[in-house]
Homo-oligomer: A and B are copies of this chain.
């Protein structure tokens, strides 16, 4: 899987409130499928599907404890996604400056003499 495909899978996995809530639960400690299903008004197979999406994205991993398959949060992909976002922070923080606002304005409406405005 290429880095771009990893970001695809990571952001897609994060784009669902149920999956984000599952990650929030797992951030507090490992949990079985039954424990993860309990808070939601949703069937167990639906949660299993969400877990498969999260695992495919590398955001969680599965262990084994008798019949249980406790899930564990994995930080690497979250780190990659954060790094991607951080890379853009410098750009859009720059674009908040008054100078950049002015440049944007000039770009949209160059002060050529007698330029029609509409």
Contacts and interface: CB of A to CB of B under 8 A. Distances in A.
A84 B96 CA distance: 21
Given A4-B20, A10-B15, A82-B85, 18 more contacts: A8-B17, A12-B12, A12-B15, A15-B15, A23-B88, A27-B88, A27-B91, A30-B104, A64-B108, A66-B118, A72-B104, A73-B88, A75-B89, A75-B93, A78-B92, A79-B92, A81-B85, A82-B82
Interface of A is mostly: helix
Given A8-B17, A15-B15, A17-B8, A85 B85 contact: yes
Chain A interface size, as a band, is: 35 or more
A16 B10 CA distance: 10
